[in-house]
Every structure is written in C-alpha cells, then in structure tokens.
A and B are shown apart, each in its own frame.
Chain A
Amino acid sequence: EPEVTQTPSHQVTQMGQEVILRCVPISNHLYFYWYRQILGQKVEFLVSFYNNEISEKSEIFDDQFSVERPDGSNFTLKIRSTKLEDSAMYFCASRDTYYEQYFGPGTRLTVT
C-alpha cells in the first residue's frame, strides 16, 4: 500500500539554525500539507500546497517557514532560524481528489 514517507525521523538542532524537513507524498496525490504537534498538545495545521503554490497557511506559518516542491516527488518544510518553541513532531500529509489525508510517520524536531 502506498504511503507518505518523511526524513529524518528525528532531528536535533541548535536554536537559530536552519532545518529542512523532507517528505515524499504518495505519488499520484496532488494536495500536500504540513501539520505539527507539540508534545501533549493537539495536531495543528501549518500550510497546504497545491499546483506548486501555497493554498492556505495558518498564523503559525510566519516568515520563518517556507515550503517547496523541488522536484516531482519531494515536498519540504524549511524553518530558517529555529526557536525553542519550534520543538514538535512535524507531520506531512497528502491526498488525491478525495477527502482523506494520509499522514506520514512524522519528524521529531528538537531545538536545544
């Protein structure tokens, strides 16, 4: 069964450093999403992406965040200058024309 994959599974970085989280959505999917979940809290929407542009973003997704689909398979989330409060599990999700969003296994980001 096709699945969303994410790398790395765990990323440790120092405050102020840039990180890039990578996702490979399911191959025939057209809509892509990033969510995050701070430990013990709810899953929060960050951004959605369709047709090579951002279709919607939350208040969390400020100028420090960017997304890119550099080729036909990868979908990346970049955080330019990480803060302690960026520590969270980051989930990538994708869907085709139907409603169900398939989530990847997540990247645990720890900012020290």
Chain B
Amino acid sequence: GQNIDQPTEMTATEGAIVQINCTYQTSGFNGLFWYQQHAGEAPTFLSYNVLDGLEEKGRFSSFLSRSKGYSYLLLKELQMKDSASYLCAVRAGGGNKLTFGTGTQLKVEL
C-alpha cells in the first residue's frame, strides 16, 4: 500500500514564506502532485514533480527527493487567499489514480 504523511495544520503570516512537507512510502512511484483545496471546493492543481529537484511556478515551488520519499511545497509572499488545505498526492504503478494525503490546513494571518 501507500502511506503519505503531511502536517495537519500550519499557521503563517501574510507576506512570509511557508514550507509544507510531505513524506511518502510507495512502490512504483510515478509522480508527486500538490493540490490546493478551499473549504467546500474542488482540489485545484498546483504542481507536479516526477524527477528530483525543484519546480518553480510563480509564488509556488515544489521540491522532490525520490530517494528520501520526500517533497515540499514552498509558498512565497503569502496572501490571505492562500489560506486553504494543501494536498500532497502520489501516483504509483501503471495506473494513473492519485492517492492523497490528509492535507495540511494553512492559515495565513495578518
């Protein structure tokens, strides 16, 4: 099976930088995804990593280390609208289903 761990909650200040970590254990790893989910809404895609290293996309960056089973999502210049749940998801094996972690609820404060 697959095991995905991420912190339950984090709090950060507007304008700051926050790093949300995700560790996973899986066989047949085939990609790691980060999604943002506001309460009562659908997950929206943020980033995808399949090779080791950093992927940057505006204020959001995501890092992957396959050997360590570790990823993080970095959010810069935090805004109040970034308050949401951030979901780490892994794709493994020959299929394309996503297995999600429980999500990290980020609260951005003034």
Which residues does A use to contact B, with CB under 8 Å? 31, 33, 35, 41-45, 48, 55-56, 58, 91, 95, 99-106
Contacts and interface: CB of A to CB of B under 8 A. Distances in A.
Interface residues of B, number: 23
A104 B42 CA distance: 6
B48 A99 contact: yes
B97 A43 contact: no
Nearest to A58: B97
10 contacts: A42-B101, A43-B87, A45-B99, A48-B96, A55-B95, A55-B96, A99-B31, A100-B48, A103-B42, A104-B42
A56 to B, nearest CB: 4
Contact of A56 (B89, B95, B101): B95
